[in-house]
Structure 1
Amino acid sequence: MTRAATHRAAHAAASPWADFAPLLARVLLSLLFIYSGIGKLMGPEGTMAYIAKAGLPLPMLSYAMALVVELGVATALLLGWRTREAAAVMAVFSVMSALMFHNQFGDKGQLVQFLKNLAIAGGFVQLMLAPVARWSLDARR
């Protein structure tokens, strides 16, 4: 039995949620980003204008990078493929988005968005540290 399988077996015995919780976390965290990525695909001009307004250089490149993360990396996370790496990318993306787009702390709404991004990053950190989940492509490797 592999180390991951041994760990899963021990963890599953400890909790009936051990197999379901990582799947639920991946679904809940990734859907937000996939939905946002689809929105960006539907309105590239508005997204690039928002990026430019935030003062970021090369709005088209930033837009393309956001699409890769929100559609590609979030889908990998949803499927449980390279979960730790995908979660790490998503955590960094969430913190960077908070710092770049929600940094007007005098605006209560922006502060809430900033803190939500940090909370989401915390969820991704948990996925980075979690054992390989049974219902994931990582478990098939």
Structure 2
Amino acid sequence: MLDTFGKINVTAGRVLLGLYFFLPGGVSKVLGYEGTADYMAANGMIFVPFFLILTIIIQLGCGGAMIVGFKTKAAAFLLAGLTLVINLVIHDFWTLPAGELQTAHETQNFVKNLGIVAGLLVAAG
């Protein structure tokens, strides 16, 4: 049983995770659709329009669901899966030359996303 402070923390964590996927995730992909599509294509992604639209739908829908507390466990689990796929396809630092700035950047994004996945899995229960 969570005390009041624990309930506040769980709610704040859920809302912050939801905002992370709703705003910089979904909304920024809608507003910067072409740039995001180009970035995905440059990283070897296939069927870019399909996967970009699917990603936007998942990030907006599940991010919004987490913000308001609707089907939180399912939304968090779906976002965790999506984030893992994005990590493996887009932030594949192991394919880049060692010592390059881009390699360090992708490694940082990969590890950051693992932390986000961990938080999502906790939220998914």
Considering the TM-score relative to the shorter chain, is it more than 0.5? yes
Q: Which has the larger radius of gyration?
A: 1
Match of 1:45 in 2: 34
Match of 1:8 in 2: none
Shift of residue 47, structure 1, vs aligned partner:
1.1
For structure 1, the residue ranges without an aligned partner over 5 or more in a row are: 1-10, 130-141
Q: Deviations over 1:15-62 (max 9, x none)?
A: 332321221111111111111211111121111111111111111001
- The TM-score, its normalising length taken from structure 1, stands at 0.78
CA distance in 2, matches of 1:65, 1:111: 25
The answer as to 2:118 corresponding to 1:122 is yes
CA distance in 2, matches of 1:17, 1:91: 26
Equivalent residue in structure 2 for 1:84, among 68, 73, 76 = 73
Tell me the number of residue pairs that the alignment of Structure 1 and Structure 2 aligns.
117
CA distance in 2, matches of 1:16, 1:42: 38
Equivalent residue in structure 2 for 1:67, among 45, 56, 62 = 56
CA distance in 2, matches of 1:75, 1:18: 22
Equivalent residue in structure 2 for 1:29, among 12, 17, 27 = 17
CA distance in 1, matches of 2:78, 2:46: 21
CA distance in 2, matches of 1:47, 1:74: 19
Q: State the percentage of identical aligned residues.
A: 26
More helix, by proportion:
2
User: Which amino acid in the other structure matches residue 99 of structure 1?
Assistant: L
Moved over 6 A (4+): none
CA distance in 1, matches of 2:29, 2:4: 38
